């Protein structure tokens, strides 16, 4: 559950900081991409160079040390992280987060991140039992922060009791177990997804279509099923197979057939994603026999197909409706226009002219914008990884709406 995850490891100032070195090493060996952020006090116990060598990434300490003028470092890291792990977490850093204090890079970043946050306390046994510390931890738990309780044993201060930082292996196991249990974020949800192109017939041997492979839509369907959803996939003519037999696949060919299938299942769905690249136009006249080659040009008159996404937006009640916007020029402007015009809850925008984000490939680059115009950038990743991130953003937004 930590393999390929972006993990921000916050190290605060306690003698247990030495254990964070082993933690960094083991997370990296497990396939995680680890970036370490230290408080100034932590650097008194362990050199930043140690963490840099173990993580093979820069170590962050100073809020005002902006290495890239194009980015605000603590915001960029807050957005980058999928998991934030504070180990060791002193009484001081716990108190800062619980009271909204942001006076160094670590506390500032923790207030800005929307990642899952895990806190592994380490402190003197009496500090751990102090009412102020207890109240701060209770407050953070109410807000959804996750605690990895310290162990009992001999402490550096000479006391024996609770307050010793849990061992690195146990910390990783606790994170993995929680991630596993939280993995079923779509349990009980009915999800409807469209994928692939449509084909609009000219004659028995010719048709209009587009370059969509259906890979993004299929990745969304399979990850939704893995996350516990009951999935219906309306698929245009593609060569892809689904690996999860629980997914209800409905094969269609034309835009009209996709319109009918989506509307048929829409009323009973909780979340709907239109990832298909549906034809905007179709031949006005369809020939029963193959049109023979003739001298001169052949003009085909086209007529508009029904706008599936807009029609769903007009009739939606409590469904969460997401559209895809595959653009080549001004992608954000056109994506925002689609979001508002079609009454969507969110839009996933990708510039298909950019390398790694085009039709047919195995990777994608997406800008996700919800109806509150909150924007999340999903950088180049496999379509499976992009799908996972999109579902987590949708889950986040639905939870935010319910609060």
For 15, phi then psi, to 5°, come to -60, -25
Residue 345 marked as a ligand binder: no
Closest by Cα among 209, 221, 220 to 254: 209
Catalytic residue among 53, 157, 205, 291: 157
Residue 338 marked as a ligand binder: yes
Buried/exposed code over 199-222 (b: 16+ C-beta within 10 A; e: otherwise): bbebeeeebbebebbbbbbbbbbb
Contact 13, 90 (CB under 8 A): yes
Residue 324 marked as a ligand binder: yes
How is residue 343 annotated by DSSP? Answer: T
Contact 231, 247 (CB under 8 A): yes
Contact 42, 12 (CB under 8 A): yes
Q: CA distances (Å), 283 to each of 186, 204, 209, 303, in order?
A: 40, 13, 11, 6
Distance CA 28, CA 26 (A): 5
Residue 138 marked as a ligand binder: no
Active site residue 21: no
Residue 288 marked as a ligand binder: no
Degrees, nearest 5: CA angle 67-5-183: 140
For 305, phi then psi, to 5°, come to -90, 170
Q: CA distances (Å), 40 to each of 80, 164, 165, 194, 296, in order?
A: 22, 21, 19, 50, 78
Give me the helix-helix angle, 105-112 and 91-98, nearest 10°. Answer: 40
What counts of helices (H) and strands (E) characterise the chain?
A: 13, 20
Distance CA 322, CA 275 (A): 8
**Parallel, antiparallel, or unpaired for β 190-195 and 230-235?**
parallel
How is residue 59 annotated by DSSP? Answer: E
Closest by Cα among 47, 45, 129, 134 to 88: 45
Give me the residues paired with residue 160 across strands: 154
Distance CA 150, CA 166 (A): 5
Q: Which residues are annotated as a binding site for CTP?
A: 280, 290, 324, 338, 342
- Binding site membership: which residues? 280, 290, 324, 338, 342
Catalytic residues: 157
């Amino acid at each position: 559950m930590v393999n390929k995850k972006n993990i921000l490891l916050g190290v605060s100032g306690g003698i247990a900081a030495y254990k964070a070195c082993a933690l960094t090493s083991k997370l990296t060996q497990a396939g995680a991409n680890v970036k370490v952020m230290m408080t100034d006090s932590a650097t008194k116990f362990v050199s930043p160079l140690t963490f840099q060598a173990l993580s093979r990434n820069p170590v962050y300490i100073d809020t005002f040390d902006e290495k890239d003028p194009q980015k605000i470092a603590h915001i960029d890291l807050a957005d980058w992280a999928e998991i934030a792990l504070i180990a060791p977490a002193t009484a001081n850093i716990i108190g800062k987060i619980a009271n909204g204090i942001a006076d160094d890079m670590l506390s500032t970043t923790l207030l800005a991140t929307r990642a899952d946050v895990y806190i592994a306390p380490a402190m003197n046994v009496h500090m751990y039992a102090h009412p102020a510390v207890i109240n701060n931890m209770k407050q953070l738990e109410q807000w959804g922060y996750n605690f990895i309780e310290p162990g009992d044993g001999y402490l550096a201060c000479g006391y024996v009791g609770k307050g010793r930082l849990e061992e690195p292996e146990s910390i990783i196991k606790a994170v993995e177990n929680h991630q596993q249990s939280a993995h079923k974020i779509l349990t009980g949800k009915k999800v409807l997804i469209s994928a692939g192109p449509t084909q609009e017939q000219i004659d028995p041997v010719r048709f209009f279509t587009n370059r969509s492979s259906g890979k993004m839509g299929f990745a969304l369907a399979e990850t939704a099923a893995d996350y516990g959803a009951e999935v219906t996939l309306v698929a245009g003519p593609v060569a892809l197979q689904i690996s999860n037999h629980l997914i209800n696949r409905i094969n269609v060919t034309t835009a009209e057939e996709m319109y009918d299938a989506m509307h048929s299942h829409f009323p009973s769905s909780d979340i709907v994603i239109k990832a298909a690249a549906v034809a905007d136009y179709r031949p006005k006249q369809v020939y029963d026999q193959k049109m023979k080659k003739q001298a001169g040009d052949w003009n085909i008159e086209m007529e508009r197909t029904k706008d599936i996404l807009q029609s769903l937006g007009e009739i939606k009640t409590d469904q969460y409706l997401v559209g895809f916007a595959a653009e080549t020029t001004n992608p954000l402007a056109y994506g925002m226009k689609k979001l508002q015009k079609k009454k969507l809850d969110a839009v996933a925008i990708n510039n298909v002219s950019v390398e790694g984000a085009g039709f047919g490939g195995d990777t994608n680059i997406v800008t996700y914008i919800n109806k509150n115009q909150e924007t999340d950038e999903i950088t180049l990743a496999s379509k499976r990884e992009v799908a996972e991130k999109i579902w987590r953003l949708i889950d986040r937004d639905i939870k935010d709406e319910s609060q």
